[in-house]
Amino acid sequence: MEMLLGFLVLLACLIVGVRHGGIGLAVVSAIGLIIFTFVFGYQPGKPPVDVMLTIMAVVTCAGFLQTSGGLTVMLKYAEKFLRSNPKRITLYAPITTWLLTILCGTGHVVYTMFPIIYDIAIKEGIRPERPMAVASVSSQMGISASPVSVALVGFIGFFSAAGLPYTVLNLLMVSIPATLCGVIVAAMYSYSRGKDLEDDPEFQELIKDPEAKEYVYGDTESLIDKDLPSSYYHAMYIFFIGIIVIAFLGNNPQLLPHFPNAKGVMKAISMTTVIQMIMLFMGAIILFTCKIKAKDVGNSQVFRSGLVAVISVYGVAWMADTYFSNHMAFLKEVLGSAVQTYPWAYALIAFFTSKLVNSQAAAVSIVVPMALGIGTDPVVIISFISAIYGYFFLPTYPSDLACIGFDRSGTTKIGKYILNHSFMIPGLLGVFTGCCVGYVLAHILY
């Protein structure tokens, strides 16, 4: 009974906290933490300090990238690619947003791409819902395939804390092809979804009004013809070098400095420490090379979003660790055997936890330590890395809402029954395909 009551407290804090955003989730989680400690008598768990510090280093570097204009260069190349292949926008748009997320470590870059994708689609007579909805889904699927995303950093941090030998490259060798396959399958489905514009009575009724038609077909500002300073390009190259160095060192730990551990055995320093060092170092290089003002970084969208993620992970992971660590024996007996018998059970837990907290990073901070604690095979966790993206299930995530707002034709929308929205089937197809491909790849490789 006590365990059930504790779970209900945990669930209530997550549901209420999500309604107030990432920072709200952190402080509401403290209510659960207080109840667990002072009412239930649980020994407080530990917040994932190493993971939080790594996230801070990554988002700081990403903030320098955006402030210096390096992100603008990436968006310019992305737009040039899409406009050179307008007929294939339904396939190329999601691949582009997926790749941008991988390079930048955040799905928030998709906001700038929505008006471009819409402009290309509407002028080609393509139903905008087709490329836009799957592009929104794909931008979030790329998070688990980015070496500098908050979620993947979380995986590495928890694996490292558990003494597991899996590197950044180990995870990317599964997550990149798995999520890419998911993106392609979702895009293939999207090619024929919904009615063509000329056959859609709602759309045709809309454009009968001359003013509405002008609004629907209005031009979108382009980056292609804009001349960008050379410093923008330098910032982008520096950031890429940082990513490459992290991937290289992660796969070659023998090149890292070695120091004696508590038992006197020489061991390489943790990759979480290496990521922190390199990301902050690359931020410093961008600062001096591109001559930007450090104080402006704090106002960048990427930096602000990243700090919200840090605070969210801080609160929710601390509360979750307090609850699960005090019931680990029972969880090992029940959930451990269930996951070993039915590995897909872990994927379902990760998927719905992600929806519950509306964050892949927060989901990782809850599910991965619990899974490792109950003895789940790390290969299973890696197999279903795509499953940590489940917040499309209800259309409440900012990128999905923004996508609906940018579609001036009204074809991307939330259905009458809420669940029949534009992102549901592309999201389910993408995640399911990613999990299947990831399961095969992980078991072949590891």
Per-residue confidence (pLDDT) for residue 274, from 0 to 100:
85
What's the confidence (pLDDT) of residue 260? 87
What is the residue range of 49's domain?
Answer: 2-445
Helix (H, G, I), strand (E, B) or coil at 164: coil
Contacts of 209 (CB under 8 A, 6+ apart): none
Strand, helix or coil at 217? coil
Q: What is the pLDDT of residue 112?
A: 77
The pLDDT of residue 142: 94
Give me the helix-helix angle, 168-190 and 89-104, nearest 10°.
160
CB neighbour class for 86 (10 Å; exposed up to 12, middle 13-18, buried from 19): middle
- Residue in this structure with the two tokens 């510090």, named with its chain if needed: 53
Q: Which portions of the chain are predicted below pLDDT 50?
A: none
Please name every residue paired with 258 in a beta bridge, in sequence order, or none if there are none: 268
Number of alpha carbons in the 13 Å side-chain half-sphere of residue 125: 3
pLDDT digits (tens, 9 = 90+) for 179-197: 999 999 999 999 999 899 9
Checking DSSP bridges between strand 266-268 and strand 258-260, what pairing results, if any? antiparallel
The predicted structure's pLDDT at residue 161 = 81
CA–CA dist 446, 442 (Å, integer)? 6
Can you spell out the DSSP letters for 168-206?
HHHHHHHHHHHHHHHHHHHHHHHTT-S--GGG-HHHHHH
The pLDDT of residue 150 is 78
What's the pLDDT score for residue 358? 73
For the chain, the domain total comes to 1
CB contact at 8 A, 155 and 186: no
Euclidean distance between CA atoms 444 and 342, whole angstroms: 19
